[in-house]
A and B are shown apart, each in its own frame.
Chain A
Amino acid sequence: EDKVVQSPLSLVVHEGDTVTLNCSYEVTNFRSLLWYKQEKKAPTFLFMLTSSGIEKKSGRLSSILDKKELFSILNITATQTGDSAVYLCAVGGEETSGSRLTFGEGTQLTVNP
């Protein structure tokens, strides 16, 4: 059974801080890892990672995957109150025929002014 574990489960920081969110996984024949941001409604897509060591960046957010150690990190620099959300990690594996994702529990990030 595929498993995705995120840490920490919650995090409170001040504006301007840098945060690192972690995602470790166990999945049969890994295919892809996705990060989503969820603010009180539907998750919105951030990144999809398939290759080790290649950093994906979008503004102040970046993510990298380590397929050998089976984990990914999501970094947010110079945090803003608008970054407050639940960040979800999801993994797709071959066993699922590339057609579904297993989600972690999420990290609740709170950024205080």
Chain B
Amino acid sequence: NAGVTQTPKFRILKIGQSMTLQCTQDMNHNYMYWYRQDPGMGLKLIYYSVGAGITDKGEVPNGYNVSRSTTEDFPLRLELAAPSQTSVYFCASSYPSRLAGLTGELFFGEGSRLTVL
């Protein structure tokens, strides 16, 4: 059972370049999320999605875009990379907890370490 898979694991970008972080899950979860984690800090929500075709901004969405064309995939795009986007990015998914009114356990990918020089 693969769970949540992120690619690439590591990437170095030059300022102004663009790239897409891929995320796919095979647990049929409705909810998917992108977080970033800076050194010594907690996780900050970038974008999230409650289902295919629906996305919404989190705490720190500037400089990023997402799409959710299928239940399985939730790619994160950086259009004009900046040094401030150097971070570790985590994709996560969770059960359709809306029925229970609770935020369920998040299942995380292994993370993607991005460096912008």
Contact = CB atoms under 8 A, between A and B. Distances in A.
B112 to A, nearest CB: 11
A27 B103 CA distance: 13
Contacts of B74: none
B43 A88 contact: yes
B41 A31 contact: no
Interface residues of B, number: 29
Interface in A88-113: 88, 90, 92, 94, 96-106, 108
A67 to B, nearest CB: 14
Contact of B41 (A92, A97, A100, A106): A106
Nearest to A40: B111
B102 interface: yes
A73 interface: no
Contact of A88 (B42, B44, B48): B42
A84 interface: no
Given A42-B111, A105-B41, A99 B106 contact: no
Contacts of B14: none
Contact of A31 (B33, B58, B103, B105): B103
Contact of B98 (A48, A97, A101): A97
A8 interface: no
B97 A98 contact: yes
A45 B108 CA distance: 9
B58 to A, nearest CB: 7
27 contacts: A6-B42, A31-B102, A32-B103, A34-B105, A41-B111, A42-B90, A42-B108, A42-B109, A42-B111, A43-B43, A44-B108, A45-B105, A48-B104, A48-B105, A88-B42, A94-B101, A98-B100, A98-B101, A98-B102, A99-B31, A99-B48, A100-B33, A100-B45, A101-B106, A102-B59, A103-B35, A103-B42
Given A42-B111, A43-B43, A99-B97, 18 more contacts: A32-B102, A34-B105, A41-B111, A43-B106, A44-B108, A92-B102, A97-B50, A97-B98, A98-B97, A99-B98, A99-B103, A100-B33, A100-B45, A100-B103, A101-B106, A102-B45, A105-B41, A108-B40
